Amino acid sequence: MKRKKSPEGFRKKLIAIRLTEPEYEHLAELYENARTGNEGLMICDFMRSQLLYENSESSYKNMINELRKIKTELHQALAYSRSINDADAVKNLTAAVDAADKKVAEMKEVISGWQQQF
């Protein structure tokens, strides 16, 4: 990926790709189909809309934050159940553990989806 400086002084990124003939024909067909509804569509705007870039760094951070929240919730439920020894405290603790288990299972599904992409 090369960086170019435009005359206005802004930095732009130039992405160079190599396509096989069938890939290029398919891309040209997609561009023509998209252009029929939008006459002013430029090829650069179309290519930009076709790029699929997914930043997974934010999802990692969200998972770490979610794990911290789970840890805090479990710690609070455990402290509550230790201080008050009754049936409500036990129910509260089991509900917190069940909620944490459900959240961890959702995180496992997301991570397995990442593994399938690679």
Cβ 70 vs Cβ 104: under 8 Å: yes
Residue 80 corresponds to which amino acid?
Y
Question: What are 20's two structure tokens?
Answer: 């096989």
Q: What beta strand segments (E) does the chain contain?
A: 2-5, 11-14
Q: Are residues 94 and 80 in contact, defined by beta-carbon separation less than 8 angstroms?
A: no
Residue pLDDT, tens place only, 24-83 = 888 888 888 877 777 777 777 777 666 655 566 677 888 899 999 999 999 999 999 999
**Least confident among 25-29, 61-65, 88-92, 104-108:** 25-29
Is pLDDT larger for residue 44 or for residue 103? Answer: 103
Please state, in angstroms and as integers, the Cα–Cα distance from residue 57 to each residue in 28, 53, 60, 81, 108, following that order: 33, 12, 5, 36, 16
